[in-house]
Amino acid sequence: MEDAYARSVTEVLDFFGVDPTKGLTDSQVAENTRIYGKNVLPQEASTPFWKLVLKQFDDLLVKILIVAALVSFILALIDGETGLTAFLEPSVILMILAANAAVGVITETNAEKALQELRAYQADIATVLRNGCFSILPATELVPGDIVEVGVGCKVPADMRMIEMLSNQLRVDQAILTGESCSVEKDLESTLRTNAVYQDKTNILFSGTVVVAGRARAVVVGVGSNTAMGGIRDAMLRTEDEVTPLKKKLDEFGTFLAKVIAGICVLVWIVNIGHFRDPSHGGFLRGAIHYFKIAVALAVAAIPEGLPAVVTTCLALGTKRMARLNAIVRSLPSVETLGCTTVICSDKTGTLTTNMMSVSKICVVHSVHNGPVTSEYSVSGTTYAPEGIIFDGAGMQLEFPAQLPSLLHIVMCSALCNESTLQYNPDKGNYEKIGESTEVALRVLVEKVGLPGFDSMPYSLNMLSKHDRASYCNHYWENQFKKVAVLEFSRDRKMMSVLCSRKQLEIMFSKGAPESIISRCTNVLCNDDGSTVPLTVDVRAALESRFQSFAGKETLRCLALASKRMPSGQQSLSFEDEKDLTFIGLVGMLDPPREEVRNAMLSCISAGIRVIVVTGDNKSTAESLCHKIGAFDDLEEFVGRSYTASEFEELPALQRTLALQRMVLFTRVEPSHKRMLVEALQHQNEVVAMTGDGVNDAPALKKADIGIAMGSGTAVAKSASDMVLADDNFATIVAAVAEGRAIYNNTKQFIRYMISSNIGEVVCIFVAAVLGIPETLVPVQLLWVNLVTDGLPATAIGFNKQDSDVMKAKPRKVSEAVVTGWLFFRYLVIGAYVGLATIAGFVWWFVYFDNGPKLPYSELMNFDTCSTRNTTYPCSVFDDRHPSTVAMTVLVVVEMFNALNNLSENQSLLVIPPWSNLWLVASIFLTMLLHMLILYVKPLSILFSVTPLSWAEWKVVLYLSFPVIIIDEVLKFFSRNSRGMRFNFRYRTDLLPKKELRDK
């Protein structure tokens, strides 16, 4: 029954045909079970493991590598190779792909845990009326129409319509569903509002929420998937994980690269068709196979096998740095997504605020005869810690606040007319509440004011342990007075009272809504001399004015406190006693903003990131908070910036689009609204980060480009998120965004490094094939260079320091390619030099080296006909391992110099020297050590077809390698000047794949 909230109790009971005094009969239960099903969230079908595995190989570059590995293996068998040489290359390729697939499977398996966590919020048992008798049954057996009784501490077992109140009030904590900072009072009245949100359905108890006060009976109106919790589950199932901007751009670049590679491989094979019949190959077919092997080697050279591993490593390094900032990353790609975030949809309660209600203002009557009628005090401290200072109206600190009569009576009333508890948790290292947050705020106020008679209050209390300090002053007053009777809070009175006795003196303390308390007062306590005088019309008007200011302009939650002398020996209280009260004071409290949030907001503005505050709270309270934290840019008028969910839904389509572009505050929201907001922003090509802590936030967290859960939040929210804030602090998000931007910059640098190196390898093989000279590098050497000598420096580039102005730039556009046209031109120039230097080293050994054969260049080009001609040199010279070793060493050393070029995209090495990243220096040293190892250790040198080099050969290697730094310095110079920008425009459309609009 979807509209039970709008129907009367009688209509709902008649709909299900149930007698509220007897409950359902067994036959009705059976029938309703058949119609509505059981009260369980259905088990969702998980993706089969084999499908998850296959999904990881659905990538063009990966497919090319798999084909290359298989072809390499088949060709080795055709050539009669056996053992290690036949299996080495394909095995290494397949091991890399398997490792990358494993990471992907683990990531996707974690994503399905959110739906499993959702079941933890379902109640286990319920007290049900059936066949005229109450019994305790498993909550899964509930059906619509069941009459259920709930009380304090009960977890609501299904969506239920209230039918009978069994106590003065019923309050429910439904924060996991709506995000409201306080518990909600429930009633029996029908809700007449159209488009009612969960907060408006005050007669409905929602499945999974907890009763915190009172007792009531309700009729079940929704079970399983038809509950509010079931709606969240369905929303999560409909939400597909978004592909991160980096992954999207890497996929685009990979597809482009794959097409280029395929084209070059085919071109190399076709160019050499004339050489297929060369006698050295032993026939046309064997010649075709030989050049096909070269094409395969070209594919292996061109594809950066280590790129996925290096990207993963760089992101993992970022997660470690972010963990130190209290941001725990659950999904590695989300680290980079933060860097291009354009909108942060932030939950209010607990993220922008402390989620700890605290008293910030106190108003008392100063005197009815002299000076101003009322006095106002402000209170510092924004948490439950008993640490804060009382200031007077002039901003001066009160040394001994407890010596002022009104403040003294306020703390006495706050400590005694209170059902909450404040305690210190040594495990978490903070102070925690048990009970209503408003009552705990009063407990904390008692501790801040201190006790009378101490010369150094409240500083003397600092000598106590934190456990004793938590409630020391409260315990003092509780020991001074004996509680005799209590009148609990009720909806009609809007107040509570407690009768206390001390030294044969009976006194009643009352607290409640200001309008209820003040209307019952006939006297007032004066703060200047402690006298009690009649409450005049003028004084009452002054108090009403102050209350309106607190509640209106300052949006404080207000409570009034009062007392009354009772007849000696009285042992009970009645509602009749709550009159002729003496007014003590007015306290205003709020969930205060975190101190660091305002600066974090300013950082977001300078970084071009928009913040939208999303909350279930009411509009005026949220607007006041946004004003304090600077979200409204100090504007007085909030029109067009602040909307409730209902107001936003009523807007025409065009106005809704415009509203999204200006919106700063979104209030009175429920789960579907948060998800709707994320989708609407994504349709405007925004990259959205969404924060949340409740079950209600899970669908939006999953839908957002990056979902950020609170450390204190529910397990469902954490499982659906990409990142968890250990300290629940908005400022941590801003620090994480800066880290995300730095990671992206470093990612660009090592992609640039790896791609330019691979272009060098392609140029080397392609030029060698076109010139007709012997095979410069064998595939196993290319694999070693790609994985080890490229991989280590590329990973170390991830340690490049964050730029000082990283949060002053605007977010990069989602459509921005990882590799722009000008950058790709630079890749080509550097890559071409790397390839030509490698070829030059190879040719130098044959033609110019004093200890080499000193062949004419023409002989080198016709090496494949050596066996058919009379030559002055043995044909075995072409099998010498020295030239390929020189070529491989040039390739390694030139790439080490190129790694230094990537300390910054555009800054010179003179500005950012090598020692600014010691990890890179260490990785270059280690890479050269490993290269020496395969050169000079016998079994490895045979495996990689290399041999030791002489000093003369090493000198030529250095001469050929170093110029790469000079070339890149020239290119950086152009990048820093306007000409680089013109190159960017000119080459982008010619050399790169067309940018696609965000596919949402």
**Torsions phi, psi for 148 (to 5 deg):** -120, 140
Alpha-carbon span 880 to 877, nearest angstrom = 5
Task: Find out whether 143 and 36 touch, Cβ atoms under 8 Å.
Answer: yes
Query: What are the C-alpha distances in Å from 151 to residues 65, 141, 434?
Result: 64, 19, 17
Alpha-carbon span 675 to 700, nearest angstrom = 4
Query: 10 Å Cβ neighbour count for 676?
Result: 17
**Exposure string over 548-570, b if 16+ CB within 10 A, otherwise e:** ebbbeeebbbbbbbbbbebeeee
Query: 10 Å Cβ neighbour count for 571?
Result: 10
* Amino acid letter, residue 586: L
- Return the closest-CA partner of residue 351 out of 587, 697, 588, 741: 697
Alpha-carbon span 866 to 773, nearest angstrom = 12
* Amino acid letter, residue 706: I
Task: Find out whether 502 and 482 touch, Cβ atoms under 8 Å.
Answer: yes
Query: 10 Å Cβ neighbour count for 228?
Result: 23
What H or E segment, with its residue span, contains residue 486?
A: strand 482-487
**Torsions phi, psi for 578 (to 5 deg):** -85, 60
Q: Distance between the two ends of the chain, CA-based, in angstroms?
A: 34
HEC profile of 307-324? HHHHHHHHHHHHHHHHHH
Task: Find out whether 440 and 422 touch, Cβ atoms under 8 Å.
Answer: yes
- Return the closest-CA partner of residue 839 out of 740, 739, 768: 768
Alpha-carbon span 934 to 82, nearest angstrom = 22
E strand map for 546-620: 557-566, 581-590, 610-614
- Return the closest-CA partner of residue 443 out of 469, 425, 464, 466: 469
Q: Which structure tokens are listed for 809?
A: 């730039």
Q: Which structure tokens are listed for 597?
A: 């949030």
Non-local CB neighbours of 947 within 8 Å, separated by 6+ positions: 881, 882, 885, 935, 941
Alpha-carbon span 450 to 463, nearest angstrom = 13
Q: Which structure tokens are listed for 782?
A: 């290319």
Positive or negative: CA dihedral 624, 626, 629, 635: negative
Non-local CB neighbours of 487 within 8 Å, separated by 6+ positions: 496, 497, 498, 573, 574, 575, 577, 578
Query: Would you say how long the chain is, in residues?
Result: 1000
Query: What are the C-alpha distances in Å from 245 to residues 257, 341, 795?
Result: 18, 10, 21
3-state secondary structure of 556: coil
* Amino acid letter, residue 333: P
Query: What are the C-alpha distances in Å from 707 to residues 106, 463, 675, 699, 774?
Result: 18, 43, 11, 10, 55
Q: Which structure tokens are listed for 163?
A: 């039918």
Instruction: Please identify which of the residues 146, 159, 278, 347 carries the catalytic annotation.
Output: 347
Non-local CB neighbours of 206 within 8 Å, separated by 6+ positions: 156, 159, 172, 174, 177, 198, 227, 228, 229
3-state secondary structure of 652: coil
Residue 634 among the catalytic residues? no
Alpha-carbon span 692 to 717, nearest angstrom = 7
**Beta-strand pair 642-644/610-614:** unpaired
What H or E segment, with its residue span, contains residue 501?
A: strand 495-502
Active site positions, annotated: 347
